[in-house]
């Protein structure tokens, strides 16, 4: 391949970027408003003002991004590429203003337009390019990488339609397309000059080169263009701006031409649609893989474009020698979704640059690292060999070759054990042979990590046991974290100000410092201020719930919240059974010790997930009955918040008293919502699952409401599970089941909840709802007792925030960097010395 020669001509005066002082920000805002956007009245809509402000800030980001890229080049930095099918970014404006330290300048500039940042922010659509935990984690990681000055580039897909918008019709979920780009996306910059060609279809040829070596060649493919759109990722007050590169699919010119020249204009346009379909929509499944061809196209499209991008840059800078490639590059695979990158890097090295297989494999297995995010068997990706052979014929050959060589290693390790080879094969045999993507990821990577201590242990002992026996050193844990910038500093300004008054504001950069709050947990005047902040935040949520659900919450009641994707293993059902139990107590007049509660649930169900949708309907029906009952209103109010997303969570977590983390033990890989609530001073009621375990360890068992079966007990409990007996034995549960079965919540909709009722009563219920009910109710009683003593509760709340230091994604990312990536932070001394740190919380 010919080396690309880059012509560089720097326009004078633009190297440093715009100088940032108040008057230029004001001027820039005005210039963008009047000239870039061509407006002259603010009018009723704040949309143009939002766009003008975003462009003003983007100018400042672009300048710093250029500087950051220059540094990466100058310092010859080793770099990580974070490959993810999902980046759940939410809004960008408030975060950029915070990280660039522009709050005062922006608010003063906006005064001229008689408005404030909070109003303008509402004009921004969430970038909802993710389903839930995995996608939001990727977004938190990008913030931390930039804040720690680490050279990390995110690679993802620029979906035209993100996560669907959820609305309610008679308590049922309705999905609507999320046309988030309709009003424009001012943060991105397209770079069509860096477009890549992605191959699909065709077949594979052999040819022999001049030296007599045989090569394979992928030919007659139907190529699609990947066009990059770059989104700037600002670090916190350190002048670093990294890049998130999102690929959009487009038809190639000749693709259209062939058809067009053949006189088939409409076929040409249809082909164009086919190409553009690839990045049209995010798949809204967060747990069960569905084997759709378009999804495989997305995965290969992202992997191939990103690998080519990195390799092209390498060849541009170093020529075609790949000897040192692995010293400078890491690809972190966010679950198996981009794991086809293993085979793609092999293809590029072997086919395009003619490396020997062994050399290419050395390089690949030194650059790939894989993170697993789920233990659920139904979420483990498999692709049929026949689909692969049709869509990616050359990639299939490479997977077969990887497998053949790997199985030879297996045979060495377990001589004569044919079963072992079948078990570990990348190809699952059967009527329709399948490629096991997790196995491809493990075999092709030098690091395999889980996302919480328990999760990693379960991977080693269960799902990936044999691989652990083969390569114990590949396996490591990286407990998740969340960015304290978005999830405390930005979303909870009232509490943040109070914290900064006490311990200074350096915690935003170095979140380990939050433990200094411990000193004030028994300071009564501080407690009062802490409570006052909570009331202010609760009022914001009261307004949101009123507007979106028409339900009246009351700040004087306890706010008990569960928001996350709806899934049986997350057990929203257990929560609602408790709500029904409280209602039953109220109806029976058994209100002794009952603390008034507002219970909020929210989350999206995968469109094809029948049970999850039933659970949403049940929550809504129960809420309806309770909220209409005057007897209940002083004790209990219930709401289901439609369209739960990142922006909603920014209002929800600061207002929450009680965080519900009630998954069946061993099922939730980590959870990250649990961390956001903890940072904002909520107490957790939870099982020993995922990161809950580490949360409890950090804050102390006295400040956590524990219940439920433990992971190691589950198999035994299942073997003798008898929910009918449990219902009979426990009158609280019997009453709840009676209310459900009598149709109390579906008076005019007979049989509506039969499947839910049967699931609870089934001896095969994998989620053990009936089993954990009793201990859940008793933990909830402890919650009531604790909440009734407000001083005590507030102490625990302060201690939770104070102990949340290790759940900063800065800690997580510095562990990734130290143990897996081995990156050196970029030099920020010539710019700013306040780069985020996580030294104190590393271990
Ligand atoms: C193939 C369809 C599909 C799509 C997404 C399967 C699985 C997924 C994700 C792995 C689901 C996910 O988001 N997992 C969550 O990842 C978080 C970040 O590590 C964890 O905190 C959650 O516990 C885990 O459920």
Q: Does residue 840 surpass a pLDDT of 70? A: no
Mean pLDDT of 561-588: 98
Quote the pLDDT of residue 509.
98
The Cα 734–Cα 740 span in angstroms is 10
The Cα 448–Cα 439 span in angstroms is 11
Query: Do 464 and 540 share a structural domain?
Result: no
Mean pLDDT of 146-156: 98
How far does residue 379's CA lie from ligand 1's centre (Å)? Answer: 8
Give the mean pLDDT of the chain.
94
Q: Does residue 807 surpass a pLDDT of 60? A: yes
Query: Do 515 and 432 share a structural domain?
Result: no
Q: Place 272 in a pLDDT band, splitting at 50, 70 and 90.
A: confident
Specify if 212 maps to a domain.
yes
Query: Do 533 and 470 share a structural domain?
Result: no
- Encode pLDDT of 529-556 as tens digits: 999 999 999 999 999 999 999 999 999 9
Specify if 585 maps to a domain.
yes
Mean pLDDT of 676-692: 98
Q: Does residue 398 surpass a pLDDT of 80? A: yes
Specify if 583 maps to a domain.
yes
**Residues of the domain holding 758:** 511-805
Q: Place 842 in a pLDDT band, splitting at 50, 70 and 90.
A: very low
The Cα 54–Cα 93 span in angstroms is 7
The Cα 138–Cα 89 span in angstroms is 8
The Cα 71–Cα 823 span in angstroms is 14
The Cα 577–Cα 567 span in angstroms is 15
- Encode pLDDT of 72-109 as tens digits: 999 999 999 999 999 999 999 999 999 999 999 999 99
Which among 291, 333, 373 is the best mutation to test ligand 1's pocket, defined by most ligand atoms within 8 Å of the CB? 373
Catalytic residue chosen out of the listed positions 64, 78, 538, 564: 564
Query: Do 637 and 527 share a structural domain?
Result: yes
Q: Does residue 3 surpass a pLDDT of 50? A: no
CATH assignment of the domain containing 782: 3.40.50.2000
Number of structural domains in the chain: 2
Q: In the listed set 435, 460, 477, which residue is the last one of a domain according to the structure?
A: 477
How far does residue 334's CA lie from ligand 1's centre (Å)? Answer: 9
Q: What angle do CA 407, 411, 416 make, to 5 degrees?
A: 135
Q: Does residue 462 surpass a pLDDT of 80? A: yes
Q: Is 373 a catalytic residue?
A: yes
- Encode pLDDT of 171-209 as tens digits: 999 999 999 999 999 999 999 999 999 999 999 999 999
Q: Place 18 in a pLDDT band, splitting at 50, 70 and 90.
A: low
What's the gap between Cα 532 and its chain centre? 32
Quote the pLDDT of residue 267.
76
Which among 87, 88, 133 is the best mutation to test ligand 1's pocket, defined by most ligand atoms within 8 Å of the CB? 133
Share of the chain above pLDDT 90, in %: 91
Query: Do 535 and 389 share a structural domain?
Result: no
Query: Do 366 and 251 share a structural domain?
Result: yes
Query: Do 547 and 409 share a structural domain?
Result: no
- Encode pLDDT of 733-763 as tens digits: 999 999 999 999 999 999 999 999 999 999 9
Quote the pLDDT of residue 833.
37
- Encode pLDDT of 115-144 as tens digits: 999 999 999 999 999 999 999 999 999 999
The total number of residues shown for the chain amounts to: 843
Query: Do 461 and 578 share a structural domain?
Result: no
Residue 664, CB-side half-sphere exposure with 13 Å CA sphere: 20
Specify if 9 maps to a domain.
no
Q: Does residue 839 surpass a pLDDT of 50? A: no
Of the two residues 256 and 463, the one the predictor is more confident about is 463
Catalytic residue chosen out of the listed positions 565, 571, 581, 667: 565
The Cα 231–Cα 146 span in angstroms is 13
Quote the pLDDT of residue 838.
47
Query: Do 725 and 659 share a structural domain?
Result: yes
How far does residue 467's CA lie from ligand 1's centre (Å)? Answer: 21
Catalytic residue chosen out of the listed positions 279, 336, 483, 672: 672
- Burial pattern 571-583, b for ≥16 Cβ within 10 A else e, equals bbbbbbbbbbbbb
Neighbours of 63 (CB within 10 A): 20
Q: Is 672 a catalytic residue?
A: yes
Residue whose CA is closest, atom 11 of ligand 1?
286
- Encode pLDDT of 610-625 as tens digits: 999 999 999 999 999 9
545: nearest Cα among 698, 656, 629: 656
At 746, list the tokens. Answer: 């579906």
**Among 97-101, 277-281, 330-334, 829-833, where is mean pLDDT lowest?**
829-833
90, 476 contact by CB (below 8 A): no
Specify if 279 maps to a domain.
yes
Contacts of 94 (CB under 8 A, 6+ apart): 117, 121, 490
How far does residue 450's CA lie from ligand 1's centre (Å)? Answer: 11
> φ, ψ for residue 176 (rounded to 5)?
-125, 145
Quote the pLDDT of residue 4.
46
Query: Do 555 and 429 share a structural domain?
Result: no
Query: Do 430 and 299 share a structural domain?
Result: yes
Residues in the ligand 1 pocket, defined by CB under 6 Å: 131-134, 137, 285-287, 289, 335, 373-374, 379, 381, 451, 480, 668-672, 690
Residue whose CA is closest, atom 22 of ligand 1?
671
Specify if 100 maps to a domain.
no
Specify if 810 maps to a domain.
no
Mean pLDDT of 365-385: 96
What's the gap between Cα 831 and its chain centre? 31
3-state class (DSSP) for residue 224: strand
pTM of the model: 0.96
Query: Do 543 and 404 share a structural domain?
Result: no
Specify if 368 maps to a domain.
yes
Residue 524, CB-side half-sphere exposure with 13 Å CA sphere: 1
């Amino acid at each position: 391949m010919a080396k690309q020669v880059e012509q560089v001509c720097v326009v004078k005066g633009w190297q440093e970027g715009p100088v940032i002082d108040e008057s230029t920000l004001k001027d820039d805002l005005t210039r963008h408003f009047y000239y870039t956007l061509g407006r002259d009245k603010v009018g009723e809509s704040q949309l143009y003002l939002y766009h003008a402000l975003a462009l003003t800030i983007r100018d400042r980001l672009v300048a710093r991004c250029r500087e950051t890229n220059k540094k990466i080049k100058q310092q010859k930095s080793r770099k990580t590429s974070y490959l993810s099918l999902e980046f759940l970014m939410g809004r960008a404006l408030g975060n950029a203003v915070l990280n660039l330290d522009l709050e005062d300048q922006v608010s003063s500039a906006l005064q001229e337009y008689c408005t404030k940042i909070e109003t303008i922010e509402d004009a921004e659509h969430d970038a909802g390019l993710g389903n839930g935990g995995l996608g939001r984690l990727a977004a938190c990681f990008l913030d931390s990488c930039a804040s720690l000055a680490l050279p990390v580039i995110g690679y993802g897909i620029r979906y035209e339609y993100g996560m669907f918008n959820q609305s309610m019709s008679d308590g049922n979920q309705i999905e609507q397309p999320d046309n988030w780009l309709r009003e424009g996306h001012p943060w991105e910059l397209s770079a069509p000059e860096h477009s890549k060609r992605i191959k699909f279809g065709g077949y594979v040829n052999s040819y022999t080169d001049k030296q007599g070596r045989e090569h394979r060649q992928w030919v007659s493919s139907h190529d699609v263009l990947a066009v990059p759109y770059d989104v700037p990722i600002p670090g916190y007050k350190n002048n670093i701006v990294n890049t998130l590169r999102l690929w959009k699919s487009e038809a190639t010119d000749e693709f259209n031409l062939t058809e067009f020249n053949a006189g088939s204009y409409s076929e040409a346009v249809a082909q164009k649609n086919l190409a553009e379909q690839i990045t049209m929509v995010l798949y809204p499944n967060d747990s069960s893989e569905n084997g759709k061809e378009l999804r495989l196209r997305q995965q290969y499209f992202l992997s191939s474009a990103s690998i080519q991008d990195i390799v092209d840059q390498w060849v541009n800078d170093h020529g075609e020698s790949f000897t040192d490639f692995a010293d400078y590059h890491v690809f972190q695979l966010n679950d198996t979704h981009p794991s086809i990158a293993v085979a793609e890097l092999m293809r590029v090295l072997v086919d395009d640059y003619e490396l020997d297989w062994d050399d290419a494999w050395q390089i690949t297995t030194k650059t790939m690292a894989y993170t697993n995010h789920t233990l659920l068997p139904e979420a483990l990706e498999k692709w049929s060999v026949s689909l692969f052979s049709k869509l990616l014929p050359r990639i299939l050959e490479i997977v077969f070759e990887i497998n053949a060589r790997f199985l030879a290693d297996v045979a060495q390790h377990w001589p004569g054990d044919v079963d072992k080879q079948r078990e570990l094969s990348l190809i699952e045999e059967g009527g329709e042979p399948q490629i096991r993507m997790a196995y491809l990821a493990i075999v092709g990577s030098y690091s395999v990590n889980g996302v919480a201590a328990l999760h990693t242990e379960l991977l080693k002992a269960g799902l990936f046991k044999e691989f652990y026996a083969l390569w114990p050193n590949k396996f490591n844990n990286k407990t998740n974290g969340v960015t304290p910038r978005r999830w405390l500093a930005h979303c909870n300004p009232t509490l943040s100000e109070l914290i900064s008054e006490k311990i200074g504001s350096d915690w935003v950069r170095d979140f380990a410092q939050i433990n200094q709050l411990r000193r004030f947990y028994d300071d009564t005047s501080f407690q009062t201020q802490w409570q006052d902040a909570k009331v202010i935040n609760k009022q914001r949520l009261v307004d949101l719930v009123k507007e979106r659900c028409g339900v009246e919450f009351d700040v004087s009641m306890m706010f008990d919240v569960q928001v996350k994707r709806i899934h049986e293993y997350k057990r929203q059902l257990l929560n609602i059974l408790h709500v029904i139990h409280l209602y039953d107590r109220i109806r029976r007049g058994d209100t002794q010790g009952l603390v008034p509660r507002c219970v909020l649930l929210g989350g999206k169900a995968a469109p094809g997930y029948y049970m999850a949708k039933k659970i949403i309907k049940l929550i809504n029906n129960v809420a309806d009955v309770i909220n209409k009952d005057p007897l209940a209103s002083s004790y209990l109010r219930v709401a289901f918040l439609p369209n739960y997303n990142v922006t909603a969570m920014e209002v929800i977590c600061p207002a929450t008293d009680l965080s519900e983390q009630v998954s069946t033990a061993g099922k939730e890989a980590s959870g990250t919502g649990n961390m956001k609530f903890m940072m904002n001073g909520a107490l957790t009621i939870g099982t020993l699952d995922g990161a809950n375990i580490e949360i409890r360890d950090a804050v102390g068992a006295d400040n956590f409401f524990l219940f439920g079966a433990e992971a190691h007990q589950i198999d035994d409990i299942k073997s003798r599970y008898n929910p009918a007996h449990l219902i009979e034995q426990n009158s609280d549960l019997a009453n709840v089941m009676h209310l459900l079965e009598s149709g109390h919540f579906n008076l005019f909709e007979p049989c509506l909840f039969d499947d839910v009722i049967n699931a609870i009563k089934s001896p095969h219920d994998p989620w053990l709802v009936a089993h954990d009910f009793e201990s859940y109710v008793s933990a909830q009683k402890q919650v009531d007792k604790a909440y009734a003593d407000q001083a005590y509760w507030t102490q625990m709340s302060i201690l939770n925030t104070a102990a949340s230091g290790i759940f900063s994604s800065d800690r997580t990312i510095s562990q990734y960097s130290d143990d897996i990536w081995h990156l050196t932070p970029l030099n920020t001394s010539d710019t700013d010395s306040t780069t985020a740190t996580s030294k104190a919380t590393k271990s």
